[in-house]
């Protein structure tokens, strides 16, 4: 009877997994029917729901986790319906903005001058960490080792934003020396890749290329689904490779790790990110509720600990301390996801309800911004257009990021992106003052083919 009961339970869970998979596939197809734009918020949402929760189809899970995942899919379907309703028929096609007459002459120099600040900051960071090889051994421990260096790390984050602006400007403005512009851009992109590898963050590198693809999609021409799939597979393999080698750097350093067949070490934990936090809080009961303080950490995170030593802890820190107990070292933290983080704050029943409400509200705001983006992309010109194009991809994926990420990290990331991008646009605007009259002339937009 025991074996029969186990077999029955196994078949039941397999049926649940199969049903969820079929439902997910149907929801993705439904999303494409509602809106064929492959970079809409609903598509980013389903991308996160597919990649970071893949383990839900590969191994047994708690019944509550299956229920939460089912609700996630339902929210995605509602988002697809809202996308369809928000976009009027007249604005359902992508709009290609008209190009200004010419690129401001000192624009190129301004971008490279801004880029020097993060480059110098990175060199200084390597120096104070004891050199390049010693730096490589610290990457996997960066949460602890780089504590107190927030300003320096913030300056380094200027570079990817500059690179996105560089790319958007190249597609927006007409240039006298087209080939020279893009040759120097490739050099700039190469520097970015090097800085991103030194950051130790896979997302810092890989999401950047997704952002570039999104900008190209809306500004130049539609990107086909097959190209997105191929790009996604390549980026996933790179992410798995980087995750597998990052841990080796702490033990061997850069030179030794590079010679130790790093291509054979793939980290597939990405497939578990969405359910990792849920498994922890459902494996044993959590009772030390934070009553919303982790959600304020996105703001208080900018206050130095020297000024406020007991400032609020982010959800990832709370979850990791609960999971590891006395073994917690602070060298790395888990990402809770919006439901787990609400459970940590308000308990299980109320936490699930408040988490779903926050996710739904975030999706509504996301879709409102998407409608604004689509309706204005053909109306804006010059740096206003560049700002909109660079800012959109960082917002479009927010709801999907909430499924597996940390609220504090997401909020602080949006704030940092807004400040850095606005600073760059303001600095560039001083260079195009005498062209403002030309750039403000209205032109009728035309649709992309």
On whether the CB atoms of residues 206 and 239 are closer than 8 A, the answer is: yes
What pLDDT score does 319 carry?
94
Residue 192 has which token pair? Answer: 């970015």
Helix (H, G, I), strand (E, B) or coil at 39: coil
Query: With b meaning 16 or more CB within 10 Å and e meaning fewer, what string describes 323-351?
Result: beeeeeeeeebbbbbbbbbbbbbbbeeeb
What pLDDT score does 271 carry?
81
Assess whether pLDDT exceeds 60 at residue 252: no
| Least confidently predicted of 30-39, 130-139, 348-357, 372-381 | 130-139
Residue keyed to tokens 């010109």: 381
pLDDT digits (tens, 9 = 90+) for 118-128: 999 989 888 88
Residue 377, burial from CB neighbour count under 10 angstroms (0-12, 13-18, 19+): buried
| Cβ partners under 8 Å of residue 152, min gap 6 | 121, 124, 125
Assess whether pLDDT exceeds 50 at residue 10: yes
Q: Residues of the chain with pLDDT > 70: what percent?
A: 80
Q: How confident is the model at residue 355 (pLDDT cuts 50, 70, 90)?
A: very high
pLDDT digits (tens, 9 = 90+) for 321-330: 999 888 887 7
What pLDDT score does 443 carry?
43
Q: Where are the alpha helices (DSSP H) in 202-269?
A: 202-219, 225-258
What pLDDT score does 67 carry?
94
| Least confidently predicted of 37-46, 178-187, 432-441 | 432-441
Give strand pairing partners of 96. Answer: 446
Q: How confident is the model at residue 190 (pLDDT cuts 50, 70, 90)?
A: very high
d(C-alpha 57, C-alpha 127), whole Å: 46
Q: What is the pTM of this model?
A: 0.84
Q: What is the largest CA-CA distance in the chain?
A: 85
What pLDDT score does 309 carry?
72
Average pLDDT of the chain to the nearest whole number: 82
What pLDDT score does 154 carry?
86
Mean pLDDT of 361-372: 93
Q: How confident is the model at residue 351 (pLDDT cuts 50, 70, 90)?
A: very high
Q: Find the length of the chain.
A: 449
Mean pLDDT of 182-205: 86
Mean pLDDT of 34-63: 91
Residue 63, burial from CB neighbour count under 10 angstroms (0-12, 13-18, 19+): exposed
On whether the CB atoms of residues 278 and 340 are closer than 8 A, the answer is: yes
Assess whether pLDDT exceeds 50 at residue 438: no
Mean pLDDT of 381-407: 92
Q: How confident is the model at residue 269 (pLDDT cuts 50, 70, 90)?
A: confident
Residue keyed to tokens 């070292």: 329
Task: Choose between 74 and 310: higher pLDDT.
Answer: 74
| Least confidently predicted of 7-21, 232-246, 371-385 | 232-246
Q: How confident is the model at residue 96 (pLDDT cuts 50, 70, 90)?
A: low
Ranked by mean pLDDT, the top range of 87-91, 138-142, 207-211, 363-367 is 363-367
Residue 298 has which token pair? Answer: 């996105």
Task: Choose between 202 and 375: higher pLDDT.
Answer: 375
d(C-alpha 381, C-alpha 100), whole Å: 7
| Least confidently predicted of 81-85, 225-229, 354-358 | 225-229
2: number of Cβ within 10 Å: 6
Ranked by mean pLDDT, the top range of 70-79, 140-149, 212-221 is 70-79
Q: How confident is the model at residue 244 (pLDDT cuts 50, 70, 90)?
A: low
On whether the CB atoms of residues 155 and 117 are closer than 8 A, the answer is: yes
Closest C-alpha to 269, from 243, 292, 294, 246:
243
Mean pLDDT of 330-351: 91
Residue 183 has which token pair? Answer: 């040759």
**DSSP string for 154-185:** HHHTHHHHHHHHHHHHHHHS--SSHHHHHHHH
């Amino acid at each position: 009877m025991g074996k029969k009961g186990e077999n029955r339970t196994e078949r039941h869970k397999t049926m649940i997994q199969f049903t969820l998979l079929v439902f997910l596939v149907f929801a993705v197809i439904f999303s494409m029917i509602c809106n064929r734009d492959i970079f809409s918020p609903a598509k980013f949402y389903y991308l996160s729901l597919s990649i970071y929760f893949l383990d839900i189809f590969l191994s047994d899970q708690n019944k509550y986790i299956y229920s939460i995942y089912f609700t996630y899919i339902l929210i995605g379907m509602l988002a697809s319906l809202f996308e369809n309703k928000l976009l009027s028929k007249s604005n359902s096609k992508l709009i290609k903005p008209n190009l200004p007459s010419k690129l401001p002459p000192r624009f190129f120099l301004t971008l490279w001058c801004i880029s020097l600040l993060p480059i110098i900051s990175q060199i200084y960071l390597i120096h104070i960490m004891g050199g390049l090889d010693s730096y490589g051994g610290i990457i996997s421990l960066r949460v602890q080792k780089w504590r107190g260096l927030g300003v320096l790390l913030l300056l380094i984050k200027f570079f990817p934003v500059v690179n996105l602006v560089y790319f958007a400007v190249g597609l927006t403005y007409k240039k006298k020396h087209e080939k020279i512009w893009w040759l120097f851009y490739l050099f700039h992109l190469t520097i970015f890749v090097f800085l991103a590898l030194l950051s130790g963050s896979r997302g810092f590198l890989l999401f950047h290329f997704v952002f570039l693809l999104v900008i190209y999609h809306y500004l130049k021409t539609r990107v086909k689904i097959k190209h997105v799939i191929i790009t996604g597979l390549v980026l996933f393999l790179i992410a798995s490779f980087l995750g597998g080698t990052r841990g080796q750097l702490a033990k061997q350093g850069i030179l030794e790790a590079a010679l130790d067949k790093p291509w054979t070490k793939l980290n597939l934990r990405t497939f578990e990110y969405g359910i990792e936090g849920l498994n922890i809080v459902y494996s044993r009961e959590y009772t030390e509720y934070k009553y919303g303080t982790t959600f304020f950490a996105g703001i208080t995170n900018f206050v130095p600990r020297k000024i406020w030593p007991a400032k609020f802890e982010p959800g990832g820190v709370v979850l990791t301390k609960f999971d590891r107990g006395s073994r917690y070292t602070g060298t790395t933290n888990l990402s809770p996801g919006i439901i787990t983080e609400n459970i940590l704050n308000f308990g299980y029943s109320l936490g699930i309800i408040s988490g779903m409400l926050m996710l739904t509200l975030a999706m509504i705001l996301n879709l409102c911004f998407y409608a604004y983006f689509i309706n204005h992309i053909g109306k804006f010109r010059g740096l206003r257009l560049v700002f909109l194009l660079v800012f959109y991809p960082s917002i479009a994926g927010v709801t999907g990021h909430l499924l597996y990420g940390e609220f504090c990290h997401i909020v602080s990331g949006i704030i940092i992106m807004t400040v850095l991008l606005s600073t760059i646009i303001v600095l560039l605007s001083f260079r195009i003052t005498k062209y403002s009259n030309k750039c403000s002339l209205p032109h009728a937009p035309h649709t992309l083919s």
